[in-house]
Amino acid sequence: MTAESKYTLKKTGKAVLDCRGTPVSYRDRAAIVALEKAHESALAFRGDPIAEIDVVIADHPDFVMAHLFKAAWLTQAMETRVYDDMVQAVNAADKIIHKANDRERGHLEAVQAWIRGDFFGAIQKWEAILTYYPLDLLALQLVHQTDVLLGDVVGQRDVVARVFNLWDEGVEGYEFVLGFYAFGLEENRDFHLAEQMGRLSLAIRPENPYAVHAVCHVMEMKGRQPGGIRFMYEHVDRWGKSNFVNHLWWHTALLHLDIKEIDRVLEIYDQHLRSTGQEGAKYDELDSAALLWRLKLLGVDTGDSWKDLADKWASSAQDTLYAFNDVHAMMTFVSDDRVDAQNLLLNANERYIESASDANAAVSREIGIPFCLAIQDFHHERYASCVERLLPVRYMTHRLGGSFAQRDIIAWTLLEAALRAKQYHLALALANERSAFKPTSPQNWSYVAQAFKGLGDQSNADRAEAKAQSLIAG
């Protein structure tokens, strides 16, 4: 099937329908096909969807859905540096919205809500579109991925569940829907079905990094490190060509870290996560900071890596757009001893939460700032204070967004701080919790051993460490 034919438009009466039968107000066939291709680039993490849609917009300035695709896709970056482009695209759509249909007006209202900082309002608008147009792949993708960004764990799965029965292999883009469902199921700990959906997606379209990612999350959560590492390297040629590749390397590094292959983790950092651009996408730098912080918790020397990374985060110190970004920026500022940058970030957040009413403000107040302060405490060896800050928020951290695997950095910091504060009873409870959840993790058993040792129970410490060593030996 050629790229042209698979996007064949359907016509019903006066309405033009796209390849999934969703109505489009603009009537130029080539323009609608070009929009589909840009969207496919975004879904498959290949090419440059924004550059592609800019070409469509230049040739078809009255194509409202082209402007709205651009604006909607830019929402997902969660970065102030794309804000002006996002506003410009949505304003261009607004000027010609009288030509649009109700579905397209819904997309406009969703991005307008987002720009006001009403992220949850945007989700509701996209969900309303899906109620009437369940095959609107863009709306489905935006709700699912925004639920990930905002930490709505149940929503990530259920938005797909609401439309899933209406999709099958005959509908263009089904493999991407399987990928969304796989990830949503995994985050809700339905690991078996998640893996099934992810692998089915890959059977239909092997070049689907999001499905690779969902299966990898299953491996991570279930502690299937050797199988996970093998799976990732088997698919490495199919990870796409976007900053999502960094995230997949980060996942691979986590699997190595869990079985204490530290040299391989450092190699992955140097070869794949140490980005060279001064102003890279924050999505890249998040993963880099998250990996370096885990190595710091384990006492691994990472040389000048923190300095390079802090340089890249410096310009974002006062963004206050997304608490998830701020905590990762703080890891770099603290670890490179940049007091001014730390103060800029904290002062900007204090000013922001005093007056802001957007969806991020409450998260910054309740999770983001406490974690930033805990990061400072940890670095300055105020371990008891670090524990005090993290213990009350540890089960609320999903609100920060991201995945369980990403947010595990908070629980890990808490446990390491408890050990260093010599709060061994607490450390044992936390380590036991981790090893109960992931009993195949050598790292978790080493933590159990350290806690027992702190309590003076050498016998149980030896047993736990032997368990860790036997897991490493495989």
- Please give the residue ranges that form the binding site for Fe ion (CB under 5 A): 403
For Fe ion, which is the closer residue by CB, 256 or 420? 256
For Fe ion, which is the closer residue by CB, 146 or 403? 403
User: What are the contacts of 339-347 at 24+ separation with CB within 8 A?
Assistant: 341/310, 341/313, 341/314, 341/317, 342/376, 344/317, 344/318, 345/317, 345/318, 345/372, 346/372, 346/373
Where do we find the tokens 């998640």? 194
Q: How far is the CB of 330 from Fe ion (least distance, A)?
A: 21
Q: How far is the CB of 12 from Fe ion (least distance, A)?
A: 40
For Fe ion, which is the closer residue by CB, 43 or 341? 43
For Fe ion, which is the closer residue by CB, 120 or 283? 283
> DSSP class of residue 139?
H
For Fe ion, which is the closer residue by CB, 101 or 145? 145
Q: In degrees, to the nearest 5, what angle opens at C-alpha 393 toward C-alphas 391 and 395? A: 100
Q: How far is the CB of 217 from Fe ion (least distance, A)?
A: 6
Q: Which residues pair with 24 in a beta bridge?
A: 16
> CA gyration radius for the chain?
23
Where do we find the tokens 């009288």? 98
Distance between CA atoms of 474 and 464, rounded to whole angstroms? Answer: 15
Q: Give exposure, 238-270, as e/b (b: 16+ Cβ within 10 Å).
A: bbbebbbbbbbbbbbbbbbbbbbbeebbbebbe
For Fe ion, which is the closer residue by CB, 25 or 403? 403
Q: How far is the CB of 153 from Fe ion (least distance, A)?
A: 14
Distance between CA atoms of 310 and 95, rounded to whole angstroms? Answer: 41
Q: How far is the CB of 155 from Fe ion (least distance, A)?
A: 17
For Fe ion, which is the closer residue by CB, 225 or 403? 403
Distance between CA atoms of 21 and 10, rounded to whole angstroms? Answer: 6
Q: How far is the CB of 106 from Fe ion (least distance, A)?
A: 29
Q: How far is the CB of 182 from Fe ion (least distance, A)?
A: 12
Closest CA to 144 of 176, 171, 170, 169: 176
For Fe ion, which is the closer residue by CB, 403 or 413? 403
For Fe ion, which is the closer residue by CB, 141 or 403? 403
Q: Where are the alpha helices (DSSP H) in 301-423?
A: 305-313, 323-335, 339-355, 359-363, 369-379, 383-390, 404-420
For Fe ion, which is the closer residue by CB, 214 or 451? 214
- Tell me the two tokens of residue 179: 């990928």
Distance between CA atoms of 67 and 87, rounded to whole angstroms? Answer: 10
- Tell me the two tokens of residue 241: 């060509």
Distance between CA atoms of 189 and 404, rounded to whole angstroms? Answer: 10
Q: How far is the CB of 444 from Fe ion (least distance, A)?
A: 19
Q: Which residues pair with 11 in a beta bridge?
A: 16
Q: How far is the CB of 225 from Fe ion (least distance, A)?
A: 16
Distance between CA atoms of 434 and 414, rounded to whole angstroms? Answer: 12
- Tell me the two tokens of residue 351: 């000013």
Q: How far is the CB of 268 from Fe ion (least distance, A)?
A: 15
Q: How far is the CB of 17 from Fe ion (least distance, A)?
A: 35
Closest CA to 155 of 180, 191, 118: 180
For Fe ion, which is the closer residue by CB, 332 or 403? 403
Q: How far is the CB of 423 from Fe ion (least distance, A)?
A: 31
For Fe ion, which is the closer residue by CB, 201 or 403? 403
Backbone angles phi, psi at 23, to 5 degrees: -70, 140
